[in-house]
């Protein structure tokens, strides 16, 4: 984040401390919050929680000119747990395809308490991504604030934490390290359908332990089992209210894209007047967040929606009959825009037709625009309905096991 | 020649974690089984065979072996991405050079010479498919690598 913002934040913190330490103690929240905590109702009846501000602005585009596109970004405030020592991190990637808050150490100026494993060794976390990138770093805890919502003592990942052991071979996947230049953001806010980044598979020691959590004594980091509570968490699921999912709304775009686009992320589904399930269909998913897409008569069960993917990724050049771009084979480059339709089907059987287009990616990239609804490329295993899918839609992402007015998560609704 | 190749492979195996990889001999599959601590199953198909190693968390590595005894294709599905430097073997350098493209966050589709690598999926559900066109058995399509 930039220096002026830091100065302003510190000024606010000092002001808050001088003006009312009791208020801070009572709400145990972060400095700078504009929300009102629930004050409780005298007389012994169960207090009705006062609705808190549950909406943040999200910005689609690119933080850095001409480097990235279709990045969905938001500001996230983290605090040392139970204190007013806070920092607002701008330009954090909003990612429905992953779970957990991951912040680049280089973007942090406050010291968040590190988590140790059962043996007292520093706990390391490894996240991998389909672009063959990995994020490695320490697990720490923070109070995470988004709008008026505060999740307390959330395990998060500090990517490339200084002084932390170097990445173990089992994490680096032969891939690209996540840093400011490769990420194009200051962190990743994973708000997908799962509550933890790994879940029960990482909580049981044994031969099948995925390389996600590592105990890091001085002798080196080794994969180990970690309870689900200690794992990196979806902060939304830890809010006191509005904690069953998120609603993402982005405006429609023209086929040529735009310089940027501004929308909203609302917390909770059917919990307040601004997040009702109106005019959408609920598509339940499997435990991984996958549902089905049927295209040209074939059904792809490993399909998903993902704000963290910057295109519509499906099939490949041979099976689609559209060439990839001459140099960048990650994208399609048809000679003219092609219109498609497909059927999305939830594990509950809900099915509907979606329409989308694929334009020549090189033509789009040669413009000054950074948001596009018609850029795409190949994907193995199913449809990766990335950020282009979200333009002109309101999309609900319900967390596994969470009750909502539309049923129990995990599901997508749109 | 065969003896020399085997010796050089063992030397390599002593310095880096030994995984079977694209372009390497069939015998190397056993190293993957040890690395993954998984169960191995072999399927004989017309014109090729498939070695499938399943890890306790459900991760599955499939290796497609030609009658000449070379691994011509691999697929992976699992909660994390696999180590592609290891799985791609001699092709890893070409893959690394081809994946430095900016402006991208999403799956990869890499075509370099005879090497094709496709990735996909998301946290907890990743997929990888890779093959070498020059190692495909005669009459066998790359479509069998699934």
What domain range is A350 assigned to? 273-413
| Structure confidence at residue A30 (pLDDT) | 40
Do A75 and A220 belong to one domain?
A: yes
Predicted pLDDT at A173? 74
Q: Over the stretch B21-69, which tens digit does the pLDDT of each residue have?
A: 899 888 888 777 777 778 889 999 999 999 999 988 899 999 999 999 9
- What is residue A47's predicted lDDT score, i.e. its pLDDT? 58
Residue B106 and residue A131: Cβ atoms within 8 Å?
A: yes
- Per-residue pLDDT, A15: 33
A395 and A284 in a common domain = yes
CA distance B96 to chain A (A): 8
Say whether both A196 and A342 belong to one domain: no
State whether A209 and A290 are in the same domain: no
Contacts of B101 in chain A (CB under 8 A): 327-328, 330
B78 with A382: Cβ contact below 8 A: no
Give tens-digit pLDDT for A172-186. Answer: 877 889 998 889 999
Pairing between β-strand A376-377 and β-strand A312-313 as defined by DSSP bridges: parallel
CB A127 within 8 A of CB A98: yes
Residues A213 and A324 in one domain: no
Tell me: do A216 and A298 sit in the same domain: no
Asked whether residue A40 is assigned to any structural domain, the reply reads no
Claim to verify: residue A316 and residue A195 sit in the same structural domain: no
Chain A partners within 8 Å of B59 (Cβ): 208, 210
Cα dihedral A200, B129, B91, A376 sign = negative
Residues of B in contact with A304 (CB under 8 A): 121-122, 125
> Is the same domain home to A203 and A350?
no
Chain B residues inside the 8 Å CB shell of A97? 122-123
> Do A97 and A191 fall into the same domain?
yes
Query: A141: Cβ–Cβ under 8 A, 6 or more apart, which residues?
Result: A81, A112, A113, A115, A153, A154, A155, A156
Determine which of A380, A388, A412 to mutate to test the interface with B (most B C-beta atoms within 10 Å): A380
The per-residue pLDDT for B109 is 95
CB contact under 8 A, A209 and B56: yes
Same structural domain for residues A133 and A282? no
Q: Do B121 and A208 touch (CB under 8 A)?
A: no
Average pLDDT over residues B136-143: 96
Mutate to test the interface with B, among A64, A69, A125, A130 (most CBs of B within 10 A): A130
Q: Is residue A62 part of a domain?
A: yes
pLDDT over 90 at B102, yes or no: no
Closest approach of A137 to chain B, Cα-based (Å): 16
B127 in contact with chain A, both atoms CB, cutoff 8 A: yes
Whether A278 and A176 share a structural domain: no
- Number of domains into which chain A is organized: 2
Query: What is the share, in percent, of chain B residues with pLDDT greater than 90?
Result: 60
CB pair distance less than 8 Å for A309 and B83: no
What is the CATH number for A221? Answer: 2.40.70.10
pLDDT < 50 positions in chain A: 1-44
Q: Which residues of A touch B88 (CB under 8 A)?
A: 174
Report ipTM (2 d.p.). 0.87
Q: Would you call B34 an interface residue with chain A, using a CB distance cutoff of 8 Å? A: no
Among B61, B74, B118, B124, the residue to mutate for chain A (most A Cβ within 10 A)? B124
**How buried is A18 (Cβ within 10 angstroms: 0-12 exposed, 13-18 middle, 19+ buried)?**
exposed
| Residue A49 is assigned to a structural domain of this protein | no
A252 within domain boundaries = no
- Please report whether residue A61 resides in a domain: yes
- The confidence score (pLDDT) of residue A206 equals 85
């Amino acid at each position: 984040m930039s220096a002026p913002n830091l100065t302003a934040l510190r000024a606010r913190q000092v002001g808050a401390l001088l003006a009312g330490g009791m208020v801070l103690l009572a709400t145990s929240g972060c400095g700078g919050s504009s929300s009102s905590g629930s004050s409780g109702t005298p007389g012994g009846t169960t207090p009705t929680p006062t609705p808190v501000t549950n909406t943040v602005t999200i910005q689609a585009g690119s933080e850095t000119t001409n480097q990235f596109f279709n990045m969905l970004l938001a500001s996230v405030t983290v605090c040392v747990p139970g204190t007013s020592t806070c920092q607002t991190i701008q330009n954090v990637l909003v990612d429905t395809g992953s779970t957990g808050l991951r912040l680049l150490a280089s973007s942090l100026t406050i010291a968040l308490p590190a988590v140790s494993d059962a043996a007292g060794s520093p706990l390391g976390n490894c996240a991998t991504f389909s672009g063959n990138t990995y994020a490695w770093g320490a697990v720490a805890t923070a109070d995470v604030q988004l709008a008026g919502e505060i999740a307390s003592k959330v395990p998060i990942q500090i990517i490339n934490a200084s002084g932390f052991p170097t990445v173990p071979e089992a994490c680096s996947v032969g891939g690209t390290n996540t840093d400011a230049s490769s990420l194009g953001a200051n962190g990743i806010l994973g708000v997908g359908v799962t509550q933890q980044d790994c879940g029960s598979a990482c909580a049981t020691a044994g031969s099948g332990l995925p390389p996600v959590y590592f105990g890091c004594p001085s002798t080196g980091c080794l994969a180990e089992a970690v309870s689900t509570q200690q794992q990196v968490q979806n902060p939304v699921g830890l809010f006191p209210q509005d904690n069953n999912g998120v609603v993402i709304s982005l405006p429609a775009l023209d086929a040529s894209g735009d310089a940027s686009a501004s929308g909203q992320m609302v917390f909770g589904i059917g919990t307040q007047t601004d997040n009702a399930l109106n005019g959408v269909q609920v598509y339940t998913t499997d435990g991984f967040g996958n549902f089905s897409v049927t295209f040209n008569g074939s059904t792809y069960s490993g399909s998903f929606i993902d704000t963290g993917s910057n295109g519509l990724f499906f099939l490949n050049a041979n099976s689609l009959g559209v060439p990839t771009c001459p140099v960048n084979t990650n994208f399609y480059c048809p000679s003219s825009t092609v219109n498609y339709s497909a059927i999305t089907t939830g594990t509950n059987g809900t099915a509907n037709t979606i329409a989308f287009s694929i334009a020549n990616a090189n033509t789009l990239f040669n413009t000054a625009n950074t948001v596009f609804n018609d850029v795409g490329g190949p994907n193995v295993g199913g449809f990766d309905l990335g950020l282009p899918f979200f333009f002109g839609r309101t999309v609900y992402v319900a967390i596994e096991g969470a009750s909502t007015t539309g049923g129990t998560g995990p599901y997508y609704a749109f | 020649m065969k003896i020399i190749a085997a010796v050089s492979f063992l030397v390599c195996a002593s310095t880096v974690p030994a995984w079977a990889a694209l372009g390497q001999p069939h015998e190397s599959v056993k190293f993957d089984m040890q690395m993954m601590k998984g169960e191995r199953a072999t399927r004989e198909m017309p014109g090729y065979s498939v070695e499938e190693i399943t890890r306790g968390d459900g991760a599955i590595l499939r290796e497609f072996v030609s009658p000449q005894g070379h691994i011509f294709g691999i697929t992976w599905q699992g909660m994390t991405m696999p180590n592609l430097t290891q799985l791609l073997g001699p092709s890893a350098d070409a893959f690394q050079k081809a994946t430095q493209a900016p402006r991208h966050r999403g799956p990869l589709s890499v075509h370099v010479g005879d090497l094709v690598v496709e990735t996909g999926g998301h946290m907890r559900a990743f997929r990888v498919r890779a093959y070498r066109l020059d190692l495909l058995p005669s009459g066998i399509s790359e479509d069998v690598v699934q």
